[in-house]
Chain A
């Protein structure tokens, strides 16, 4: 859609007073993709969540990106509102960004390639950055990463952040920069809401979307920095670039504990949480 944003405004911005009045008159415009401040005022607050505990509320455009640094015990909910969101996520230890998501360990340590409820997102330092605490989608992928500028140029004609068909990596690069991080700080990312399965011969089979309205919840197990790009999955079979909004709400909740089934779901997981607890205890983080 091409909209003339200047319609009815041109020639009324000749003086500073007019320009200021024009700018102020725009303040209450509501659009599909925007953050809600304060977060407790979100028009889409999750049912059953005390709105005073919401710390982050935002609809990320399709395509778009966002990022945040969050306290331990924050519960983060992603929602694929229209069925064509794909949340490409990278998580870091907020205090030490060299510690970050390691997808090989995230799959190898639990002996499971497919992420779902109870799956830990592990760092390369043997600790749990976040846990997938709930999942109504079950269509996720930890093998295929994001699209690149080169791939999007070939497929869609453009892939720059400013284009209509930005590559996931270009968006993650910007999200990283906003948190003081660079290209070295982007390891392979995990994708939520678009599924891929491995056939016996190794072929990657697209299982796609679970449809609109599904959610995934993460729990931050330590203070984390999280980068999110919403862009089509690299194996998305649609010819056109199709990306719909991604809604995010985060609220103050509880970190995982030995009362949660995933804490002791396997000896590997129990030791991962034990390592995390050891780090937090020594660091003075409760």
Chain B
């Protein structure tokens, strides 16, 4: 049986708006369970809106000019000497260079150690009856293929709006989220980057409140806003 549970419309949804003002370059609703990708130009800001609340957005970032340089969990953690992402965190590449910076964040902390779900790891985590649940790895592979990327290009990712505490003895895992409808995170591109987001389909743990909902992605160009103001 294919599990396709999701909520596409609800009166509690909050689509919010961009965290950083500027000309809107892109505005897209990522449907529940689906993937999205786009090149985000240096200097522009991507706002991701948690429309339904506690909806994980699994995210990979690549240098647009050379995708062998890509988001790196270890380099990001080492650079800030902390396991959690907050406002000001710089998202680093595997070459130790900045890709994006968190310039706005409306939840207590963002996760980057929980990894992405896959059909394969679902069998380990929840039993073989979950083998055919759709998963982030599927979305990453399909979106990546549009840019010439494959399994070799999948690395540890960011999980926007997901909550993964680490206890003193090393116990870690996914627990109830700290987000809510309309909460946002904003990322400034430090160079031209390819951003891939999987709107997580997982329904076997609380990462999506057991109810996948939409994400909204808005890219704004603050410099375009400034120049328009100047003209007036």
Residues of A within 8 A of B (CB): 97-99, 102-105, 107-109, 111-114, 122, 124-127, 143-151, 169, 182-189, 197-198, 200-204, 234-235, 267-268, 271-272, 275
Contact = CB atoms under 8 A, between A and B. Distances in A.
Contacts of B172: 107-108, 111-113
Given A122-B124, A148-B94, A271-B124, 12 more contacts: A104-B113, A104-B114, A104-B156, A108-B114, A113-B171, A125-B118, A126-B123, A143-B113, A144-B78, A148-B96, A197-B170, A271-B127
22 contacts: A98-B151, A104-B73, A104-B114, A104-B115, A104-B116, A104-B157, A108-B121, A108-B172, A109-B124, A112-B172, A114-B169, A124-B151, A126-B118, A126-B124, A143-B113, A151-B96, A188-B73, A202-B84, A204-B83, A267-B127, A271-B124, A271-B128
A113 B109 CA distance: 18
A272 B124 contact: yes
B152 A184 contact: yes
B229 interface: no
Nearest to A126: B120
Nearest to A235: B78
Nearest to A153: B96
Contacts of B77: 143-144, 204
Interface in B68-115: 68-69, 72-75, 77-78, 81-84, 94-97, 109, 113-115
B68 A183 contact: yes
Nearest to B118: A124
Contacts of B169: 114
Nearest to A184: B152
Contacts of B96: 147-151
A220 to B, nearest CB: 19
Nearest to B68: A183
Contact of A275 (B69, B123, B153, B166): B123
A109 B117 CA distance: 10
A279 to B, nearest CB: 11
A145 B78 contact: yes
B95 A148 contact: yes
Nearest to A185: B152
Interface residues on B, range: 35 or more
Interface in B25-76: 68-69, 72-75
Given A104-B116, A126-B120, A112 B170 contact: yes
A169 B56 CA distance: 30
Nearest to B155: A187
B147 interface: no
Nearest to A141: B74
B228 to A, nearest CB: 37
B118 A187 contact: no
A125 B94 CA distance: 22
Contact of A202 (B68, B82, B121, B154): B82
A189 B149 CA distance: 21
B118 A145 contact: no
Most chain-B CB neighbours within 10 Å: which of A99, A122, A169, A184? A184
B94 A169 contact: yes
Given A113-B113, A188-B72, A202 B124 contact: no
A99 to B, nearest CB: 8
B170 A186 contact: no
Nearest to A97: B152
A144 B74 contact: yes
